[in-house]
Amino acid sequence: MTEPTPVPDSAGGGSDTVAARSTSTSAKVSARRRAEEGATNGRLLRDNSPQGTRFPLDSALLAAERIGADDADQRGADEVEAGIVALWKAFGERRDQELRDRLVLHYAPLVKYVAGRVGTGLPSHVEISDLIQSGIFGLVDAIEKFEPERGLKFETYAMQRIRGAILDDLRAQDWVPRSVRSRARDVERALERLEARLQRTATDSELAEELELSVEELRELFAQLQMTSVIALDDLIGGGPANASLAETLPDDRAEDPVAALVDRDSRRQLVEAVGRLSERDRVVVTLYYFENLTLAEIGKVLGVTESRVCQLHTRAVLRLRSKLTEQN
């Protein structure tokens, strides 16, 4: 048999290789030029066409841009997720505080979200910032106790821990026992049921029967629930531009009544004018008796008359003053 003639290998060089490379390069250049010319023609045709006309080339370009942006976002999200997984792994190995702080910063938006949800049903004087501060401690505790190897999602676990930390802090700040709070909720629900059924305000006996209590026990319960009705003094009341805080509307028993002070000052002025119109002897008697605090006997010695005469002069002066004040009023 005749052995086959070996074919020379052109991969290592030679005229065949050069020709093939030249042909491939020319094809690539021609394809690039055709693409550029097509894009240019597409732009010219788009510019000279009515507004809103969409061409296949433009749609393809826009779709390619969107796909590229989505791919970039997906790659960025994957990189962040891979970084968090690596961070959890490093924290599980070393338990370093710096790694824990980085995890806290990454999951901090969870605290704000949970605090906003919990604060929706709380009174207005409870600050969201205080809830966030309590929630941060819950987040740190969740990071310390989380076990990634179990395959659970950290966000679900952390939200429960954060919410629990916020509620625990709220209960610690509440001076009312939880049993009293529970009884208050029972009374509110019973009132709602009765008013919905009776279509009127329920009486104490009806409420006591609904709660399976006696009237005396219900009144004792009301006395216990008084401490739960607390409002902030700086809360605004009223409407419009003339808003005022509740503290400004509370009466001060030790403060001077402006109306009474005005009436008293006017009465003193009228009394001074009436005393000034008395005779000199009557004016001396009134002055010594009411302003100098002398007795009738001492006034008699000053005037050189008997005590009975001073009593007569005092009575006459008082009657004249009363008459003059009545005339002025």
Domain edges within the chain: 95-173, 178-228, 274-328
**CATH code that applies to domain 274-328:** 1.20.140.160
Q: What is the pLDDT of residue 75?
A: 64
Structure tokens at 295: 């007795």
Task: Give me the residues of the chain with pLDDT under 50, please.
Answer: 1-32, 34-35, 37-58, 60-61, 240
Question: Residue 191 contacts by C-beta under 8 Å, 6 or more apart in sequence?
Answer: 202, 207
pLDDT (0 to 100) of residue 91: 83
Task: Provide CB contacts within 8 A for 285, sequence distance 6+.
Answer: 299, 303, 310, 313, 314, 317
Is the pTM of the predicted complex or chain greater than 0.75? no
pLDDT score recorded for residue 109:
92
At the topology level of CATH, where does 95-173 sit?
Rna Polymerase Sigma Factor; Chain: A (1.10.1740)
CA 125 to chain centre: 7
- What fold is seen in the domain 178-228? Arc Repressor Mutant, subunit A (1.10.10)
User: What is the per-residue pLDDT for 15?
Assistant: 37
310: exposed, middle or buried (C-beta count within 10 Å: 0-12, 13-18, 19+)?
buried
Of 121, 221, 197, residue with least CA distance to 163: 121
pLDDT score of 132: 93
Using CB atoms within 10 A of its CB, is residue 102 exposed (0-12), middle (13-18) or buried (19+)? middle
